[in-house]
Amino acid sequence: MPLKVALLPGDGIGPEVTAEAARLLTRVADLYGHPVQFSSHAIGGEAIERHGRPLPEETLAACLDADAVLLGAVGHPRYEGRPPAERPEAGLLALRQALGGFANLRPALCHPSLVDRTPFRADRVQGADILIVRELLGGLYFGEPRGFSSPDTAFNTLVYSRSEVERIARVAFDLARGRRRRVASADKANVLETSRLWRTVVTEVARDYPDVALEHVYIDTCAMRLATAPASFDVILADNLFGDILSDQAASVAGSLGVLPSASIGGQVDLYEPVHGSAPDIAGQGLANPIGAIASAAMLLRLTGGRPHEADVLERAIETALAAGARTRDLAAPGERILSTREMGEAIEHALVDIHDHQHAYHAV
Ligand code: IPM
Ligand code: MN
């Protein structure tokens, strides 16, 4: 059975980076004989232009019919003045809600060959390997009521139920078991009631995981620690807004926002997207880094595709290309050769073929 992937290139650099992710998925499929079948659909600003709304019905239907969705990015300054519901971002939020993936996994690791691209001293950042588990369907992003009660007063609702906290906490603890068995739960329990509930429920869930160490960290302290001692974290568990902020901040560990992938799981259809946005300032110029999208494709192979070996090989291909000096503009040090988006995709593709052929040669012996 082919793996059915709905591609949603979206806005800005989205089409460029998803094209490279699709290139790599296609190559993996060819090499390992597990076919992938793509379809492509509009979302975000592009969908507003072509269909009058950010999440057309055709797009949603195709996504619900797929095994996984791979999205590029949404957002454009053209829609800056519009209310949230009429912006490209509304399409993404509606899609997340419809697909149901409440657990947003955002790994950030320090790639050995990019240590000097980070703002950290090597001894502080080496070995940093963080997984942010962000609650994706609740909290301030979706809480009702929301709106303007007058032109001068606006409000949003921060609401979490026990079951929402419990299910995301379980994902964090389960994943910690496959890693270094530590969970840092970020909250603001010294001020917010939702955080007090969050802390209570996370503490209760932790009782089912005596082998995993839990610490509660205030969100401000957490941000500070991420900026000073990133290697002190394993899994960070956070609500929707805190997780959004921390996951961009965690880019400092990787050296560029452009390399960070994400997966949203636990719902009807899994959604994969790079953490970076649409970056309209560099769109269409081949300057974007496709690694976030390609690494998202690797997560897709592992988590939806049930193809862990192929995921590992794709991630190793990324490491290999980086170690060999492949650099898009965001990663290049002064004087280093800069690859285009497509050249970076090709460099990773070559590394992938090499790794595959090597393994194949071993097996043949
Ligand atoms: C992200 C983005 C989105 C979010 C925006 C585009 C709605 O910042 O995926 O982190 O806030 O979740
Ligand atoms: Mn974000």
Give residue limits of the domains in the chain: 1-103+263-365, 119-254
Tokens 């800005």, located at residue: 12
Is the minimum distance from the CB of 172 to ligand 1 under 6 angstroms? no
Q: How many CB atoms lie within 10 A of CB 174?
A: 15
Is the minimum distance from the CB of 137 to ligand 1 under 6 angstroms? no
Q: 349 CA to middle of ligand 1, Å? A: 28
What is the model's pLDDT at position 363? 65
- Two structure tokens written together for 42: 């509009």
Each residue's pLDDT tens digit, 1-42: 899 999 999 999 999 999 999 999 999 999 999 999 999 999
Q: Average model confidence (pLDDT) for the chain?
A: 97
- Two structure tokens written together for 177: 């078991």
Q: 178 CA to middle of ligand 1, Å? A: 27
Would you say residue 364 has pLDDT above 80?
Answer: no
What is the model's pLDDT at position 361? 81
Nearest residue (CA) to ligand 1, atom 10: 244
The catalytic residue positions are 141, 188, 220, 244, 248
First to last CA, the chain: 30
Nearest residue (CA) to ligand 1, atom 11: 244
Each residue's pLDDT tens digit, 99-134: 999 999 999 999 999 999 999 999 999 999 999 999
Give me the long-range contacts of 284-287 (CB less than 8 A, separation at least 24): 284/13, 284/16, 286/16, 286/340, 286/341, 286/342, 287/13, 287/328, 287/329, 287/340, 287/341
pTM tops 0.85: yes
Q: Which ligand is nearest to the CA of 11?
A: 1
Whose CA is closest to 331, among 317, 350, 318, 315? Answer: 318
Q: 250 CA to middle of ligand 2, Å? A: 11
* Phi/psi of residue 215, nearest 5 degrees: -130, 145
Fold category of 119-254 in CATH? Isopropylmalate Dehydrogenase (3.40.718)
The domain 1-103+263-365 having CATH identifier 3.40.718.10: the answer here is: yes
* Phi/psi of residue 278, nearest 5 degrees: -80, -15
What is the model's pLDDT at position 365? 56
- Two structure tokens written together for 155: 């409000």
Nearest residue (CA) to ligand 1, atom 12: 244
Residue 279, classed as helix, strand or coil, is: coil
